[in-house]
Structure 1
């Protein structure tokens, strides 16, 4: 299985999925926001993956995420989020990195997305 296929499979498994690195402050911000809203995201800490895994370790997954984030923002997000984390998927679809998540939260579109994905009930 390619790293891209692995990301797609992992992202579609739960209502909200966060790809993170344990020491990343922006990843922490996104996880705290979601937890504070009552969402229990599935979190994959990529620095804890085995890079010798034939299906693609954390480094390969992170490279795929950086590419997806750059595509999703018209290339602009790639420079800002070259690390590829945090990457947040809601309902199996890429929402984006920290800027997209915070922007969605501020403009009021995050809660409806979370409700539609089944991550929030109120």
Structure 2
């Protein structure tokens, strides 16, 4: 659990992902198109990922970890459904504004 919390706290925008997940890729592209540069942590490329997955299960309150798991400013935003809902409402852009690489005019 501490590792997930530390990564989330150290990076403005964090995506916990799997390389084979098309939804993880789509969320990563969306966030980049919105002007942020998230840290993407690939679970399937870490031999110690099992501990990360257990932490996600506890944080998400589910039986299996949902990826992508998106954190903004240290807080778990959610997975694809939550991110897309926030995007469609305009709230995601507001949440990401302080972390944009290129600020809007």
TM > 0.5 between the two?
Answer: yes
- Corresponding position: 1:119 with 2:99: yes
Trace 1:68-107 onto structure 2 (pairs within 5 A): 68-70=59-61, 78=62, 82-107=64-89
Q: Name the CA distance, whole Å, in 1 between partners of 2:58 and 2:66.
A: 7
Q: Name the CA distance, whole Å, in 1 between partners of 2:56 and 2:8.
A: 11
What displacement does 1:47 show?
A: 0.7
Match of 1:39 in 2: 36
Aligned residues: CA RMSD: 1.3
Q: Name the CA distance, whole Å, in 2 between partners of 1:36 and 1:87.
A: 18
Unpaired runs of 5+ residues, structure 1, are 51-56, 71-77
**Structure with higher RCO (Cα < 8 A, 6+ apart):** 2
Runs of 4+ in 1 over 4 A off after TM superposition: none
Residues paired across the two proteins, number? 102
Unpaired runs of 5+ residues, structure 2, are none
Match of 2:56 in 1: 65
Q: Name the CA distance, whole Å, in 2 between partners of 1:67 and 1:106.
A: 27
